[in-house]
Amino acid sequence: MGYDEFEMKSNEKFIVQGGNSLRGEITPSGNKNEALPVLAAVLLTEEPVILHNVPDIADIRSMMDLLESLGVIIEEIGPHSLRFESRQLTHCDPDTAAAREIRGSFLLAGPMLARYGCIRLPAPGGDRIGMRPVQTHLLALRQLGAQIELDSEGQYVMQTDRLCGTSIYLDEASVMATENAIMAAVMAWGRTTIYNAACEPHVQGLCRCLLKMGAHITGIGSNLLTIDGCVRLHGAEYTIQPDHTEVGSFIGLAAVTGSELKIRNAGVDQLKMIRMMFERLGVATDSEGDDLMIPAEQSLRINQESPGIPKIDDAPWPGFPADLTSIMTVVATQCKGTVLIFEKMFESRLFWVDKLISMGAQILLCDPHRAVVSGPSKLQGMPVSSPDIRAGMALLIAALCAKGESIIQNVHQIDRGYERIDERLHRLGADIQRVDY
């Protein structure tokens, strides 16, 4: 199934028989959270942009639909390789219904204001894991010279005669707001400095892509970016880096199923904090060049070196990624000891743990941000529904280590972030079927 054939089907479910060990090699897909802003960045030039290692997932298909609704010509030139041409746009407003489907739609604001001076966008969609407001985006774009109003239909009408470089201090280190500010600033008049910028690997990837297109950006990888605007950007060829969230998901899968896995091209340099937190749960990993090895034999014991309950808590990069707290919650259910999962960034992300509790996990949900997990627990397969991308993958991992059969509904949520995950895991020995219902 290629990009042109991809169709998100909400009437599919996974039937999973748990308790089997897996074995083999798996390669992570391209980073979804890098691909989304890089796709938006193709709007900044009228010359062709070629992207490689683009993940074939639902959210990327939705973003491509939005680009096509603006008049971008997209051609599939090989497996996970696409050619984009934004020479002549037919519309300045993307399809409203499609824009409401994914949060990444708001990334169109920066490049459209930079190159065309206008865009109209609804409030973005995406996972319901918290409030996730867009005020930081608006703050940055307004400081660069955009006029933004909310119309009677609840859509943001943005326009500018000219964006001008300025000093921006973000009120939070928001990844997408940083990316929007960067894309608006690369063609603004003069110099822009962005303080308290997000510096996640996907933000760095966007910057490297823009450098190839002729942008002038320094401070990449830090929380202070300096951008000297230029009149125009040119075409480029760029490869999306591996998805560290998917790598973390595979580490967790191997740990709880007692599996020996080799993750090829894992982007090991980006995994220092991820591997450190897995070590806290007794999960060992070994690197061989850019490949990551997960041995079958794991201690799965909470590492408690001081008084009190150890914790796994998320933070902006280079802290532990929020997208992996769901995976770590499942791993913790199989570890001897007690650990606090502290999800600081999204106030609704832990509400799915009731499904794990119904499978037999010992979890105390203290409040919207904190859950205490005690283990090990013998999980029992049962019907569950995927509430969002990351919790959906966590439930799939739980089902694969549980005894008996699990039925996972609403799997289109998992498909939004994990490319053909059932087929890839089946090749490792997982007993998983995708069926209509």
Contact assessment for residue 386 and residue 169, using Cβ atoms and an 8 Å cutoff: no
Q: Where in 181-274 does DSSP place strands (E)?
A: 191-195, 216-218, 224-228, 236-239, 260-263
Q: Closest Cα partner for 327 from 270, 253, 261, 425? A: 253
Annotation marks residue 269 as catalytic: no
Which of 127, 313, 314, 415 does the annotation list as catalytic? 127
Q: How far apart are the first and last CA of the chain?
A: 21
- In whole angstroms, give the CA distance from residue 4 to residue 64: 10
- Looking at residue 255, its amino acid is A
> What is the gyration radius of the CA atoms in the chain, in angstroms?
22
Q: Is there a cis peptide before residue 111, judged by omega within 30 degrees of 0? A: no
- In whole angstroms, give the CA distance from residue 134 to residue 139: 9
- 101 phi and psi, to 5 degrees? -75, -35
305 CB-near residues (< 8 Å, 6+ apart): none
- 143 phi and psi, to 5 degrees? -65, -30
Give catalytic residues, as residue numbers: 127
